[in-house]
Amino acid sequence: MRPSGRSAQQVRPITLTRGYTKHAEGSVLVAFGDTKVLCNATVEEGVPRFLKGQGKGWVTAEYGMLPRATHSRNAREAARGKQGGRTLEIQRLIARSLRAAVDLEKLGEYTITLDCDVLQADGGTRTASITGACVALADAFNRMVAKGQLKSSPLKGMVAAVSVGIVAGEAVCDLEYVEDSAAETDMNVVMTEDGRMIEVQGTAEGEPFSHEELLALLALARGGIDTIVEAQKAALTQAPVADLK
């Protein structure tokens, strides 16, 4: 029995609140249970130097955690004067994952920055970030179409992510913090809406894992991501972007 009473296959309740803040071109508060991340998409003209003049766009991401998003307080990275290795690793993952969802040629010379800031953490902040950022990105593109900056959205489809892991010998989906900290193996999977893989990152925290365990985890991830993509699509049909504040 999992701490939350969920079955091994079951993801936590997913909510995606669009238009959560008013300035960003896309602004989504995503909750995977008690994990809550504010994902803001910013549209800016121009691209980084290495892309100049190629007619292509760019998608990047930054990740942060409020100091008291966690059980005990973590030092503020701005005060310590640098982003930690975990932060940099996660924001690189978010950016790669979302770039895989976008036709950069079709986007043209715009840069989209996805800021994912964790307000409350209970495991799975990187997978919630990717999931929420994709919806924020969809809204940003819709707004660009509405403003005439783009003819149609360069989003190729939904991208979503989930964590899976082996806890007390059993493979489970969408780990919350108490599960995550006890997991023998932890894996983050990012997929397209048609079930192809963008990222697979599996780590043995204790014992190494076998080929069979890997297959079991991937199957769980596929099921979880199907549910999450449904939640993304449902959120996006609730209201046209123009009706968001």
Q: Binding site residues for phosphate, as ranges?
A: 86, 124-126
Q: Binding marks (x or -) toward a copy of itself, 209..228, rule CB under 8 A?
A: xxx--x---x----------
Residue of the chain from 33, 57, 64, 154 that contacts a copy of itself (CB under 8 A): 64
Distance in angstroms (rounded) separating the CA atoms of residues 79 and 60 = 23
Contact 128, 35 (CB under 8 A): yes
Q: Which stretch binds a copy of itself (CB under 8 A): 119-127, 164-172, 224-232, 235-243?
A: 119-127
Q: Tokens 């993801």 — which residue?
A: 11
92 touching a copy of itself, by CB under 8 A: yes
Q: Which stretch binds a copy of itself (CB under 8 A): 8-16, 124-132, 205-213, 236-244?
A: 205-213
Contact 220, 8 (CB under 8 A): yes
Considering only CA atoms, which of 151, 220, 158 is closest in space to residue 188?
A: 220
Contact 139, 155 (CB under 8 A): no
Tell me whether residue 84 or residue 240 sits nearer to a copy of itself (CB atom): 84
Q: Tokens 């894992």 — which residue?
A: 209
CB contact set of 174 (below 8 Å; sequence gap of 6+) = 6, 10, 11, 12, 32, 33, 124, 127, 162, 163, 164, 224
Question: What secondary structure does DSSP assign to 110-138, as a single string?
Answer: EEEEEEEEEEE-SS-HHHHHHHHHHHHHH
The size of the interface with a copy of itself (CB under 8 A), counted in residues, is 64
Q: Which stretch binds a copy of itself (CB under 8 A): 21-29, 102-110, 147-155, 230-238?
A: 21-29
Considering only CA atoms, which of 62, 50, 174 is closest in space to residue 123?
A: 174
Q: Which stretch binds a copy of itself (CB under 8 A): 15-23, 102-110, 125-133, 230-238?
A: 15-23
60 touching a copy of itself, by CB under 8 A: no
Instruction: Work out how close the CB of 28 gets to a copy of itself at its nearest, in angstroms, rounded to a whole number.
Output: 12
Q: Identify residues 93-112 at the interface with a copy of itself (CB under 8 A).
A: 96, 100
Q: Which residues bind a copy of itself (CB under 8 A)?
A: 21-24, 27, 34, 36, 38, 40, 42, 44, 62, 64, 66-73, 76-79, 81-89, 91-92, 96, 100, 113, 115, 117, 119-121, 187, 191-192, 195-204, 207-211, 214, 218
